Amino acid sequence: MDWLLIIGVIISFYMAFNIGANDIGNSIGTAVGSGSLNMRRALILGAVFMFIGAMYLGTNVIRTIGSGIISTDVLTPGGALIIILAAAIWISITLLEKIPISGSDAIVSAVFGYGLAAVGPSYINFDVMGFIVLSWILSPLIGLAAGFCLYYILRKRFIIKIRSAGLKDRVEKIFSYFQIGSSAFAALNVGAIDIAAATGVIYYSFGPAAGGDIKFIGAIGLVLGILIAGRRITGTIGKRITELVPSRGFSAQISMASVVYIFALLGMPISPTQTLVGSVIGVGIARGTDTVKIDVIKHIATTWIITIPACIALSAGIYFLVSIIFKGLSG
CA 8 to chain centre: 21
Secondary element (H or E) of residue 57? none
For the chain, the structural domain boundaries read 3-318
The DSSP line for 251-276 is HHHHHHHHHHHHHHHTT----HHHHH
- pLDDT by residue, tens only, the chain of 331 residues: 578 888 888 989 999 998 898 788 778 877 887 778 888 899 999 999 999 999 999 889 999 998 899 987 888 889 999 999 999 898 888 777 766 677 889 999 999 999 999 999 999 999 999 999 999 999 989 999 999 999 999 988 887 777 766 677 788 888 889 989 999 999 999 999 999 999 999 888 887 666 668 889 999 999 999 999 887 666 555 555 556 688 888 998 899 999 999 999 999 999 887 888 888 889 888 887 655 666 666 766 776 788 899 999 999 999 999 999 887 655 5
CA 81 to chain centre: 20
Nearest to 201 by CA among 284, 307, 86: 86
d(CA 155, CA 222): 36
pLDDT tens sequence across 168-196: 778 888 888 998 999 999 999 999 999 99
Contacts of 37 (CB under 8 A, 6+ apart): 28, 31, 45, 180, 183
The pTM of the whole model exceeds 0.95: no
- Collapsing DSSP to helix, strand or coil, 134 comes out as helix
Is-contact 30 253, C-beta < 8 A? yes
Whole-number pLDDT of residue 211 = 63
Is-contact 221 14, C-beta < 8 A? yes
Max CA pair span of the chain: 82
- Collapsing DSSP to helix, strand or coil, 89 comes out as helix
pLDDT tens sequence across 81-102: 999 999 989 888 877 776 667 7
